[in-house]
Amino acid sequence: MERKILLTDCPDATGLIAQITNICYKHQLNIINNREYVDHSSGQFYMRTELEGIFNDYTLMLDLDRVLPKGSHRRLVGSERKRIVVLVTKEAHCLGDLLIKTFDGSLAVEIAAVVGNYPDLANLTEKFDIPYVTVSHEGLSREAHEQAIADVVDSYAPDYLVLAKFMRILTPSFVSRYAHRIINIHHSFLPAFIGANPYRQAFERGVKIIGATAHFVTNDLDEGPIIHQQVIPVDHNFSASDMAKAGRDVEKAVLSRALGMVLEDRVFVYGNRTVIL
């Protein structure tokens, strides 16, 4: 017996849930879990169905295509552990959290490699028997540096790239190469304080909460589809450095939670929004 997840998004129509689940029944597939959502503002239907049984993927997809409305998307994903490559600069807290949670099984993922533009985090990474590759940006154009990174990344064939405090702005060419496959952690509760030094910006505004946002990377800086966010309270006693220190724990939690949802195929991207099922 296999377990797979059926992901469906399509224009909303009457009887979609019954039609999809009847086809699963026809194929003698047991529904372990099912969640659905209709976005009434866009008229879009989303459904995530966990299935168990003996699969004939081709005929299952063919039967679904016969009943789903025009403009539908459906895919069947297996239970294999996904692979990621993590991109870093010098800050260790997000990378360290991912390494530990992968090591103890809290995150069901294979970290194929860590790529950094400095060698600073090599010792940490290699303690977990994971390869670390330094791709220095010094002396290279942005395009040449990104091509060198892409050459390394592609050699590991990851499902996703995770920017664990990778402090460089990516070009449209690099982003399009891995569309909806790059996950970033931003140290701010977006859309507030986009760009550099958000804790300094927050301090200067006298905010009463700070937070972090995990999102898919697009060509618009820090404006990609949001996966997960979290905040904590602060007050006038916090300096900018106090906020940054407190914010590191939020960043770790938000990134690992967002990555977990993506790895479990719970995230649908539609336009610049996400639906989490």
Find the helix or strand (DSSP H, E) in which 32 lies. strand 30-39
Give the CATH H-level superfamily of domain 2-77.
Answer: ACT domain (3.30.70.260)
Amino acid at 232: I
pLDDT digits (tens, 9 = 90+) for 186-202: 876 555 666 667 767 76
Catalytic residues: 222
pLDDT digits (tens, 9 = 90+) for 136-192: 999 999 999 999 999 999 999 999 999 999 989 899 999 999 999 999 998 765 556
**DSSP code for 80:** P
Please state, in angstroms and rounded to a whole number, the distance separating the CA atoms of residues 44 and 276.
14
Q: And the tokens for 116?
A: 């950094």
Alpha helices in the chain (DSSP H): 16-26, 57-67, 93-103, 122-126, 142-156, 172-177, 198-205, 240-263
Higher pLDDT, 272 or 61: 61
| Residue-level length of the chain | 277
Per-residue pLDDT band for 128 (boundaries 50, 70, 90) equals: very high
Among residues 151, 156, 164, the alpha carbon closest in space to that of 116 is found at: 164
Fold of 82-276: Rossmann fold (3.40.50)
Intervals of CATH 3.40.50.170 along the chain: 82-276
Q: What is the largest CA-CA distance in the chain?
A: 63
